[in-house]
Amino acid sequence: MNNKFFVILAHTYLNRLKSKAFIITTVITLLLIVGLANFQNIIDTFTSEEEQVDKVAVIDETDSLFSRFQSQVKAQEDVMEVVEFDGSEEEAKTAVQEGEYKGLLTLSINENDLPEGTYYSNQMSELSVSGKLQQGLQQLKVAVATENAGIEQSTIQQIYSPVSFEKVSLAEDSKSFEELNETRGLVYIMLFLLYFGVLMYGNMIAMEVATEKSSRVMEILISSVSPVTQMFGKICGIALLGITQFSLILLVGYQSIKSNMESMSGGGFTSYFGFSNVQISTLLYAIVFFLLGYLLYATLAAMLGSIVSRIEDAQQVITPMTLLIVAAFMLAMFGLNVPESTFVTVTSFIPFFTPMLMFLRVGMLEIPFWESSLGILLLIGTIIVLAVIGARVYRGGVLLYGRSSSLKDLKKAMQLSKKE
């Protein structure tokens, strides 16, 4: 390999690694991760040792419902206490207004001999306490209604117990329900990493090219280094920067969550995140499609970034690429619910959608090997075509100065490259 490639790679990587934007973004992200992982500890630090208990006054107009209602509320295992109020309703309302109670609930019997209630509080927007009271009263109503109908409680419990429902696939090589759930988690992570990775580092590649053009450094570089070497040197340098940043985020996130777990079984990283039963082939596909997806969009970003000469125009010219990755992400979110649909199958062979949709199908379904192989070959072929076209656009585009924010400038860039 040409040593100039590694010089450009190292220069791009180290230059971005030392930049204030990268350092600040990484530090803020790591702090957010640590903060979220220790969120409960932070809340506990600012909370008094004695837990605040919401007290609700209850006036039982029937003199027979309170004890049973209290049992229903206690069964919810929540920080709330219902207290039977001995005074009048007006006295109870005054106590609520003075802050002695969170609210007042009156219990009565309607014309159908079923319990009903009226809740009074200072703030009607407060839904937490009232919702739990309503739930407890609903359960009490069911109990009273069944008693009035002469139905035993054991029969009611059998009726409301979860139904036994087992999923069995007739295909021998089909994924089990547990494997499907674990794979879905991996697919989610892969989709988000690819989405944010392409958006963040694709923009960075375009900005890198535009920055060098604005400083007139590009004319010197292009005369001594081939456009393909220069373009892929930058792409790989930014990729290495992304690996560094993602590795730090994953490492800090893993250690932060691990330190806050009361107990954790062995099994390593994949076991900790619930991926211990995911097939090795699925993990390999995740790596392959992530790398190919990055190379595809990064090559496109470098090509588009070379036709602008101002940093301000870089964001505008890569908007079509951004829309492509957003569309791919939205299709993947749709495909998570119906991965076997014809629409998802067809679009998974469109190269710009393949990294997300083909991996989605590989992870969620048992598809023929030739389909995943064809998707990979289409990706590689598209990357090669973009590299060839991109090299020509890159060579001509880096010499294209002035205000440039239109894709029509691709034609001008290619014409300039022919004159070289």
Distance CA 410, CA 7 (A): 28
pLDDT for position 243: 83
Contact 370, 349 (CB under 8 A): no
How would you classify residue 366: left for phi > 0, otherwise alpha for psi between -120 and 50, otherwise beta? beta
Long-range contacts, stretch 365-372, CB < 8 angstroms, 24+ apart: 365/175, 365/339, 365/340, 366/171, 366/173, 366/174, 366/175, 372/285
Tokens of 380: 């590689």
Contact 311, 214 (CB under 8 A): yes
Options 3.30.1490.150, 3.30.390.50, 3.30.1060.10, 3.40.190.10; which CATH number does 54-159 get?
3.40.190.10
**Is residue 185 classed exposed, middle or buried when 0-12, 13-18 and 19+ CB atoms within 10 A define those classes?**
middle
C-alpha pair distances (Å), 346 with each of 226, 292, 297, 374: 37, 19, 20, 12
Distance CA 213, CA 307 (A): 9
Residues 6+ apart with CB under 8 A from 6: 233
Reported pTM: 0.64
SS (H, E, C) the chain: CCHHHHHHHHHHHHHHHCCHHHHHHHHHHHHHHHHHHCHHHHHHHCCCCCCCCEEEEEEECCCCCHHHHHHHHHCCCCCEEEEECCCCHHHHHHHHHCCCCCEEEEEEECCCCCEEEEEEECCCCCCHHHHHHHHHHHHHHHHHHHHHCCCCHHHHHHHHCCCCCCCCCCCCCCCCHHHHHHHHHHHHHHHHHHHHHHHHHHHHHHHHHHHHHHCCCHHHHHHHCCHHHHHHHHHHHHHHHHHHHHHHHHHHHHHHHHHCCCCCCCCHHHHHCCCCCCCHHHHHHHHHHHHHHHHHHHHHHHHHHCCCCCHHHHHHHCHHHHHHHHHHHHHHHHHCCCCCCHHHHHHCCCCCCHHHHHHHHHHHCCCCHHHHHHHHHHHHHHHHHHHHHHHHHHHHHCCCCCCCCCCCHHHHHHHHHHCC
Domain limits, CATH 3.40.190.10, in the chain: 54-159
Ramachandran angles phi, psi of 121, nearest 5°: -150, 165
Q: Which of 275, 282, 290, 285 minimizes the C-alpha distance to 195?
A: 290
pLDDT, one tens digit for every residue, the chain (420 residues): 467 778 888 888 888 888 888 889 889 988 888 887 777 676 666 654 445 677 888 888 888 888 888 888 887 766 678 888 888 888 888 888 888 888 888 988 888 888 888 898 887 666 678 888 888 888 888 888 888 777 777 777 777 777 777 766 665 555 666 666 666 777 787 788 888 887 888 778 877 776 666 555 555 555 566 766 777 788 888 888 888 888 888 788 777 766 765 444 444 444 444 455 567 787 888 889 888 988 888 888 877 777 766 666 677 778 888 888 889 889 988 888 888 888 989 999 999 999 989 988 888 888 888 999 999 999 999 988 888 877 777 666 555 555 554 555 556 655 555 555
